[in-house]
């Protein structure tokens, strides 16, 4: 029995979260779900977007699955995602980006992994007002965090049969901060002679990603670049609604949908659950429930080949409910044949 914290989130979060819960449960894996509220709903209810009960739940269970939460722009409370990463030292953000069958994009051979340092850089949130016309933000880079994310990237590449790690930077301009990041990753590469290593400037990477994304394998980078490149790469394979995400630390892990809370379609039964479902696959693999993960992967590949069964954002006429029902039915029946 696994004890896992489930944070439904805001907007479409509850719809996709409970859909994914139902799909996971259909595999037969034994999970005790501890459901906790965080985000805008929690803020409106208890005055705190990240209640202590959520922190206590994750601390106890070690693993969480989180739907999208709303973060106010330019005002209000700070990002729940950032707060969780800091609270549990979830220093590695992992986002595999792979072209899925049945999804039409200009790119047919995308299969790369983004490894993003998750605790430093401008996301440290160190800002101050100098005067009415000037503000200052601090880009925080440390050797310890940079070495740690470098080690994570190389170790992930070796364990998953990846051949190359590319460090992403802007050290030609940010000579001290990004320079320290590069120096730290270079210190790690010597421990992995079997993995090819290269470096690329962030703006050049963005150009090359939309010209030849198949060239790249594992990309490791500081926090801000990772956030931007993750969304760019999601666009290569069909959008944020298809891409999983995991925040990993030495002792705790939070698996999440990387898309927003999509308030415009909340409650309309139109939300696509595949991003959070693929994040749940990463979670199941993380807890060694590989059979359940494989069943869900097979079901995803099956439904992507039946376009009419997909939600409208994927070109179908399905709903969140119908997609969930189809996936559950396939998982339950695939041992005796496929659905027609």
Provide the residue-wise pLDDT of the chain in tens; the chain has 340 residues.
Answer: 999 999 999 999 999 999 999 999 999 999 999 999 998 888 888 888 899 999 999 999 999 999 998 765 444 446 788 889 989 999 999 999 999 988 989 998 999 999 999 999 998 878 899 999 999 999 999 999 999 999 999 999 999 999 999 999 999 999 999 999 999 999 999 999 999 999 999 999 999 999 999 999 999 999 999 999 999 999 999 999 999 999 999 999 999 988 888 888 888 999 999 999 999 999 999 999 999 999 999 999 999 999 899 999 999 999 999 999 999 999 999 854 444 4
Q: Could you tell me which residues are beta bridge partners of residue 169?
A: 201
Question: Is 176 designated active site?
Answer: no
Residues 6 or more apart whose CB falls under 8 angstroms from that of 158 comprise: 192, 194, 195
Do residues 127 and 138 make contact, with C-beta atoms less than 8 angstroms apart?
Answer: yes
Q: Is 217 a catalytic residue?
A: no
Name the token pair of 164: 């190359």
Bridge partners of 247, per DSSP, are 93, 254
Instruction: Say which of 91, 227, 252, 326 is annotated catalytic.
Output: 227
How many alpha carbons lie under 13 Å from residue 257 in its C-beta half-sphere? 35
Tokens, residue 320: 């969140």
Q: What is the pLDDT of residue 72?
A: 56
3-state secondary structure of 185: helix
Q: Look at residue 80 in the predicted model and tell me its pLDDT.
A: 83
Catalytically annotated residue among 176, 203, 215, 250: 203
Q: Nearest Cα to 321, choosing from 1, 113, 14?
A: 14
Does residue 123 have an active-site annotation? yes
The one catalytic residue among 91, 148, 170, 178: 170
CATH superfamily of the domain spanning 106-236: Isopropylmalate Dehydrogenase (3.40.718.10)
Tally of CA atoms within 13 A in the half-sphere of 52 that contains its CB: 0
- Is the torsion defined by CA of 331, 333, 334, 335 positive or negative? positive
Task: Retrieve residue 317's tokens.
Answer: 């006429």
Beta-carbon-side half-sphere exposure of residue 169 (alpha carbons within 13 Å): 24
Residue of 123, 156, 225, 330 with catalytic role: 123
Rounded Cα–Cα distance for residues 310 and 190 (Å)? 46
Closest CA to 157 of 99, 243, 94, 230: 94
Task: Report yes or no on whether pTM surpasses 0.85.
Answer: yes
Pairing state between β 63-66 and 92-98: unpaired
Domain 1-90+242-340 fold = Isopropylmalate Dehydrogenase (3.40.718)
Residues in the chain: 340
Domain with CATH 3.40.718.10 in the chain: 1-90+242-340, 106-236
Closest CA to 204 of 216, 189, 218: 216
- Based on the residue annotation, tell me whether 91 is a catalytic residue of this protein: no
Q: What pLDDT was estimated at residue 335? A: 58
The H or E element spanning position 33 is strand 31-35
């Amino acid at each position: 029995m696994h004890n896992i914290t489930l944070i439904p989130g805001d907007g479409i979060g509850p719809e996709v979260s409970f859909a994914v819960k139902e799909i996971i449960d259909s595999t037969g894996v034994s999970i005790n779900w501890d459901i906790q509220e965080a985000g805008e709903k929690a803020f409106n209810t208890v005055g705190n977007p990240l209640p202590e009960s959520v922190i206590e739940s994750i601390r106890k269970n070690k693993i969480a699955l989180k739907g999208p939460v709303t973060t106010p722009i330019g005002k209000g409370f700070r990002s729940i995602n950032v707060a969780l990463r800091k609270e549990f030292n979830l220093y590695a953000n992992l986002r595999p980006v792979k072209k899925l069958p049945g999804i039409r994009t200009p790119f047919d051979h995308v299969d790369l992994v983004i490894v993003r340092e998750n605790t430093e850089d401008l996301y440290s949130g160190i800002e101050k007002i100098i005067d009415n016309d000037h503000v200052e933000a601090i880009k925080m880079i440390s050797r310890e965090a940079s070495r740690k994310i470098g080690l994570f990237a190389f170790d992930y590449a070796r364990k998953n049969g990846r051949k190359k790690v590319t460090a992403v930077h802007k050290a030609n301009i940010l000579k001290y901060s990004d320079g320290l990041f590069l120096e730290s990753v270079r210190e790690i590469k010597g421990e992995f002679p079997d993995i090819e290593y290269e470096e690329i400037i962030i703006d050049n990477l963005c150009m090359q990603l939309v010209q030849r994304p198949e060239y790249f394998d594992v990309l490791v980078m500081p926090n801000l670049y990772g956030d931007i490149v993750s969304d760019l790469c999601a666009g290569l394979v069909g959008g944020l609604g298809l891409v999983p995400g995991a925040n990993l630390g030495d002792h705790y892990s939070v698996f999440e949908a990387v898309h927003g809370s999509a308030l415009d379609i909340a409650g309309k039964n139109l939300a696509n659950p595949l991003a959070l479902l693929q994040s749940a696959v990463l979670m199941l693999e993380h807890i060694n429930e590989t059979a359940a993960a494989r069943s869900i992967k097979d079901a995803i590949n099956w439904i992507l080949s039946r376009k009419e069964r997909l939600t409208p954002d994927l070109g179908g006429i399905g709903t969140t409910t119908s997609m969930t029902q189809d996936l559950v039915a396939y998982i339950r029946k695939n041992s005796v044949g496929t659905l027609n």
